[in-house]
Structure formats: structure tokens, C-alpha cells
Chain A
């Protein structure tokens, strides 16, 4: 298994809803990432988990809540989002190692907040 999977592919939610995005990898990678990408822009890093511990939070609003239940799974819990949070949310993972430099991306979840 050599890929990162993300579910759902598409998500529409209202500003009062609670939803979750899911990311899985079975490549033995020990670092996992959440990115947000707006149209025609590069991905922006949101969170990094290393060995199931949160290592980087890029000052993301608390309406986004990450969770890493185990080394293969990464969730992003969403609550009280704003329309400007509509974007493509990408998950990535990288192999164990000191630098964890090479990131492999999933196909993304396209989120629309109404």
C-alpha cells in the first residue's frame, strides 16, 4: 500500500455543523500533515504530527481541531467554520527519519462552507 487516502472527497457543511475529515496511510510513515489550499495558490501548512504528537500548529483557529489516534490515522475535526474556510484540505505523510523531508500527499477533501 503506497498511498495516502482521504475521506470524504467532497463535503458541504453549514456554519453551525460539526464534521470531520479523515486521512489514512499504511506506509509506516510516522509524520502526518494537514494543509489548506485555496484555488490557484500553494498549500499552506496547518498542523504537523510526529510520532502521534502534535509538533507544529501554524496558528490555526481553534475551529479546526486535529487528532492523531494512531500512526496510520489523522483526523481534522471541524466546528463553526466560516465561508472563507472553503478550500481543498490536503493530508500528507512522510517516512521516519531525522529530517522527514519527503512528503506524500493524498487526493484532498474539497470543503464548501455555506
Chain B
């Protein structure tokens, strides 16, 4: 069975500071991993994904994530936060077949 744990339901950073959102997964087979962002009153937007190959994945809006098999982690980072990054972020895992397993989400606040 697969599962996803996002550490911290709420993260607050200052504008220009590093953003680090943590995600750990559990999977008995090689996983596919995703980060989605959800702005208020909107759907989910795919930020980035890891399927196979390079373990450092670059996404949209300056975000990136690194797949670390030994740590079963897929943390999301951005070097410099912008006010427009304030949103809910979901980490998700799948091994195929249509079932995405989501973490509980992390709300990112950005202070001016």
C-alpha cells in the first residue's frame, strides 16, 4: 500500500526566503511522485513530477524537487518565495492504474 505524509499543515515564510515543503512517501514498488498547487477557489495545477530518470526535477514557477529513494522523500523547494506562491500544496504518489494518493496538504503563507 502507498501513503504520503506531508510534514507541517502550515508553513509561513517571508518574501524572498527559501521555501521548503516536506513530503515523505511509502511505496512497495517504484513510485511516481507529484506536487500539485491549489490556489483559492481553483483546481489543482501540476507543479512537477518524478517518474524515472533524473532525481532532481524542475517544475513551473521556479519550484524543484529531489527524489531521494534512501530517505523516501520528495521535498519541494524554491530559492526565493514570492507573494503569489501563497497557496495549498499537495504531494501525491501513484504506481499507476488511476489512483493518486494525496498527502494532507501544506498551506504556504508568504509574509511581505
B34, B41, B90, B100 — which one has the most chain A CB atoms within 10 A of its CB?
B100
Contacts of B36 in A (CB 8 A): 105
Within B89-112, the residues touching A (CB, 8 Å) are 90, 94-100, 102-105, 107
A16 at the B interface (CB under 8 A): no
A59 at the B interface (CB under 8 A): no
The answer, among B32, B44, B95, B105, for a CB contact under 8 Å with A41, is B105
* 0 or 1 for each of B46-66: is its CB under 8 Å from A? (1 = yes): 100101000000000000000
Q: Is the CB of B98 within 8 A of A90?
A: no
Given A105-B44, A106-B43, A42 contacting B103 (CB threshold 8 A): yes
Within B15-61, the residues touching A (CB, 8 Å) are 32, 34, 36, 41-46, 49, 51
A64 at the B interface (CB under 8 A): no
Given A42-B105, A104-B46, A110 contacting B41 (CB threshold 8 A): yes
Q: How far is the CB of A28 from chain B (nearest CB, A)?
A: 17
A8 at the B interface (CB under 8 A): no
Closest to A49 in B: B98
Given A105-B44, A107-B42, A108-B43, A99 contacting B97 (CB threshold 8 A): yes
A56 at the B interface (CB under 8 A): yes
Q: Is the CB of A45 within 8 A of B99?
A: yes
Given A40-B105, A42-B102, A105-B36, A100 contacting B46 (CB threshold 8 A): no
Q: Is the CB of A101 within 8 A of B43?
A: no
Q: How far is the CB of B90 from chain A (nearest CB, A)?
A: 6
The answer, among A100, A102, A110, for a CB contact under 8 Å with B49, is A102
* 0 or 1 for each of A34-68: is its CB under 8 Å from B? (1 = yes): 00000011110100101000011000000000000
Q: Is the CB of B45 within 8 A of A42?
A: no
**Which residues of B pack against A, CB within 8 Å?**
32, 34, 36, 41-46, 49, 51, 88, 90, 94-100, 102-105, 107
* 23 sample A-B contacts, Cβ–Cβ < 8 Å, listed by A number: A6-B43, A41-B105, A42-B103, A43-B44, A45-B98, A45-B100, A48-B99, A90-B44, A94-B98, A98-B96, A99-B32, A100-B97, A101-B32, A101-B49, A101-B51, A101-B94, A101-B96, A102-B51, A103-B46, A103-B100, A105-B43, A105-B44, A107-B43
